[in-house]
């Protein structure tokens, strides 16, 4: 398995992130955040406007 590279966009992601939980280890690391929320069967804050 390939080694996971650090997120190069974390600073710009943090500026636009809708999540109120700034202490989350996945804050600003969108790919990990989305996977984490998928595992919990709900959408992260940035995608909630897509809910039907």
pLDDT in tens, 4-41: 788 999 999 999 999 999 999 999 999 999 999 999 99
pTM given for the model: 0.77
What is the pLDDT at residue 52?
63
CB-based contacts of 46: which residues, under 8 Å, 6+ apart?
A: 17, 18, 19, 30, 33
Each domain of the chain, given as residue ranges in start order, spans 10-50
pLDDT band at 44 (very low <50, low <70, confident <90, very high): very high
What is the pLDDT at residue 21?
92
What is the pLDDT at residue 32?
93
pLDDT at 49 over 80: yes
């Amino acid at each position: 398995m390939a080694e996971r590279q650090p997120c190069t966009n974390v600073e710009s992601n943090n500026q636009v992130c809708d999540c109120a939980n700034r202490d989350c280890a996945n804050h600003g690391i969108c790919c990990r955040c989305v996977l984490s929320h998928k595992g919990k069967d709900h959408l992260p804050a940035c995608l909630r406007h897509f809910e039907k």
